Amino acid sequence: MNKTCIVLAGPTAVGKTSIALELAAHFNTQIISADSRQCFKELDIGVAKPSQAELSAIHHYFINSHSIHEKLSAADFEKYALEAVGKIFKQNDIAVMVGGTGLYIKAFCEGLDEIPAIDEKIRNEIIVGYDLNGIGWLKQQIVERDPLYFTSGEMQNPQRMMRALEVKLSTGNSITSFQTKQKVKRNFDIIQVGLELPRDILYGQINSRVDAMMKKGLEEEVSNLLPYKHLNALQTVGYRELFNFYDKETSLPKAVELIKQNTRHYAKRQMTWFKKNHLITWLLPDINVVSEYLRKSLGDMEI
């Protein structure tokens, strides 16, 4: 059998972690996380990391691997993940990747587009503009200067928005125009599985999970991170809303409701991204359903 990486994608709270753990246990293999926030060791409850018991049972790459003080890109993830899958394949024919960061999964499966060098003066001006004026200013800049990215890019992620703006101002072209190159052919097989639920069920799971996070101590976790709230790693749903509570800009119940609302919006954006990938086969987050599909894809296999 060819070396194969099973990629489990899908929106937040759909149930990816439990399916990945079952598959990794069955194949006696390891997991690569494709989550742009679970990699930070200072973040825990708010990024829905697997439990300590789960992390001890199955080795996970790209969880607790970096600090919030480090800047990470999709290119960094691509390099890291390819090295990780290479290590796994030395011991096993199967690797499992799981996560909801679409750009990271795309980088691993297809490679990244090469973008010309960026003018550092422009980059610094954009950073200063964002620091002074916030995400509203950033959004307006993109609306005026790169409407193509505004209609198709991630408009809730300041880092990616700044990246899009600096590319447009440096090259004269939208970052989307660089995203059309031939896909890289990896020297291993990739099976992409998307997990989805009816929207009302998914949204119910999101709301329940936020309540569980609050009971688990999310408020205290965010309180301990207040000195670092300016870092890009903390411009994240679940942290940003509670920072506003601590800044007395909103009440705690309102902050919790906003976490639920913004997480639902994030899940919708994730699905919009993943649905553009026609190589993903969409299944219910049920180990029996996933196993049956993999049986057919991989050949003789029992779970």
**pLDDT tens, 73-93?**
888 999 999 999 999 999 999
pLDDT tens per residue, range 206-261: 999 999 999 999 999 999 999 999 998 998 999 999 999 999 999 999 999 999 99
In whole angstroms, what is the distance from residue 108 CA to residue 37 CA?
Answer: 17
Rounded mean pLDDT, 190-210: 98
List residues bridging with 191 in a β-sheet. 6
pLDDT tens per residue, range 7-19: 999 999 999 999 9
Q: Does pLDDT of 59 surpass 60?
A: yes
Task: With beta carbons less than 8 A apart as the criterion, state whether 287 and 19 touch.
Answer: yes
Greater confidence (176 vs 65) lies with 65
The percent of the chain in helix, strand and coil, each rounded to the nearest 5, is: 55, 10, 35
List residues bridging with 190 in a β-sheet. 5
The count of C-alpha atoms lying within 13 angstroms of the C-alpha of 83, restricted to the half-sphere facing its C-beta, is 8
Mean of pLDDT over the chain: 93
DSSP 8-state secondary structure symbol assigned to residue 116: P
Provide the whole-model pTM: 0.83
Confidence bin at 179 (pLDDT 50/70/90): low
Q: Does pLDDT of 303 surpass 60?
A: no
